[in-house]
Chain A
Amino acid sequence: MNPQSLLRVQGVSKHYGRRSACQEVSFELHPGEIVAIAGESGSGKTTLLNCISGRLRPDAGRVEFDTRENGLQDIYALSEPHLRLLTRTDWGYVHQNPRDGLRINVSAGANVGERLMAVGERHYGRIRAATGDWMSQVELDPQRIDDLPSTFSGGMQQRLQIARNLVTHPRLLFMDEPTASLDVSVQARLLDLLRGLTQTLSLAAVIVTHDLAVARLLAHRLMIMKDGQMVESGLTDQVLDDPQHPYTQLLVSSVLQA
């Protein structure tokens, strides 16, 4: 047991009927650490992400988060309002499709400012200033604060979703395939942005991706999932350059070299 853990996942399992989506997964995450979960479709990586982010109660196992008030707490033992507060403050969740993480019919600025209002900020000027500031940090033109997200490109919407998540200064960001729905040129920009932000804010993050290059660029550690089990984990470069498990070897050798 390490007292500095930000997130501690122990023996988490989830079944859908008789099919096991996630079996006995355990790992720890420390402040500022970025871990990627990779594996093909159906390997259980999104189920695992949902279980550890308070969105899907596992059938077995514990998920503990280092709360500001009481240290490590089982997130599924927290009261509903407390868990909701965590998801609005200390946690962020970036969806693969920005439309799932944004409200598409309110302005860009409202999308970002809304999260601040949810934690009690009422001062209009301060909300607007913080919103503009976060829009520039994700390389969006703050002049577009009053535009609807539907007038933004996919890459811009994804950056807006990230700004919306970061405005409350979370300590932990969950990301589900954050670059998968974007064109390659736009992906590079987003990856670079995420890399910079996680470093300067010393944000911890769990990123689900099927793209090993994304893991290589962003993650300190990499976990490989197959059929609901974590078959291999280690430093990202170890797992990619010296894969041990047959499945990881297959995955690494199947990547097309550009």
Chain B
Amino acid sequence: MEQMIRISGLSKTFVLHHQHGTVLPVLADIDLTVGRGECVVLHGPSGSGKSTLLRSIYANYRAQQGQILVRHLDGWVDMARAAPRELLEVRRLSMGYISQFLRVIPRIPALDIVSEPLRGLGVERAEAEHKARALLSRLNIPGKLWSLPPATFSGGEQQRINIARGFVSNFPILLLDEPTAALDAGNRTVVAEMIEEARAAGTAIVGIFHDDEIRRRVATSVHVLSPMENIA
């Protein structure tokens, strides 16, 4: 199976300069490989570094040690070392990240937020919006909301906007940070189906799911993380 993510020796420590220089080691010597069509679920108690690992893969957090190789075009990019421009290209073309919360942009309607990643790939507006509408209906966002900025939407609606945005451009790699946390049973099922379809199409997925049923349904393997002792 073709590998899409190869992490080796990854360590991440936070230094809190204004809290007496507290050093918080969160990840140490992590190795993880994810192939095409695989869904690796990160599992462990709160504080074990699941979100930190996802954010490090996306280069939202900066790793101190190790490699985070991600398949990009015909080669590999080390997300722990690459230049900002290269990181942005990986995010534009190869890897999507769906967080728990939508970062709302003032005045931008939901439809634009969802279709934007596709337009960033050069897809015509009409076609991008067509695909965005299909996803918004599938995720049961009422049509009357599509032209409104999501600032006033409910938590569950904002989360579904985020999911639609993450799925719209068929990234080869997807990182999912509890995408179903605020959803009702019906919408959880829709998201589970979308994840299964992406997997079947070859997407490599790393995710965090607190819901046991979803986790069992979508995972091809589970990677267990355990909290580290703090060094004062």
Contact = CB atoms under 8 A, between A and B. Distances in A.
Interface of A: 30, 33, 188-189, 191-192, 195, 216-217, 220-221, 234-235, 237-238, 241-242, 244-246, 249-250, 253
Chain B's interface size range is 10 to 19
Contacts of B55: 241-242
A30 B106 contact: no
Contact of A235 (B87, B103, B105, B107): B87
Given A235-B87, A246-B17, A217 B62 contact: no
Contact of B85 (A33, A216, A237): A33
B85 A246 contact: no
Q: Name the prevailing secondary structure of the B interface residues.
A: loop
Contacts, number: 48
Contacts of B108: 192
* B14, B62, B88 — most chain A CB neighbours (10 Å): B62
B88 A217 contact: no
Given A33-B85, A192-B105, A235-B84, A241 B61 contact: yes
25 contacts: A30-B85, A33-B85, A188-B106, A192-B105, A192-B106, A192-B107, A192-B108, A216-B103, A217-B105, A220-B88, A221-B84, A234-B62, A235-B88, A237-B60, A238-B59, A238-B60, A241-B55, A242-B14, A242-B55, A242-B60, A244-B62, A246-B18, A249-B16, A250-B17, A253-B18
Given A234-B84, A235-B87, A250-B18, A242 B105 contact: no
A30 B59 CA distance: 20
A219 to B, nearest CB: 11
Contacts of A241: 55, 60-61
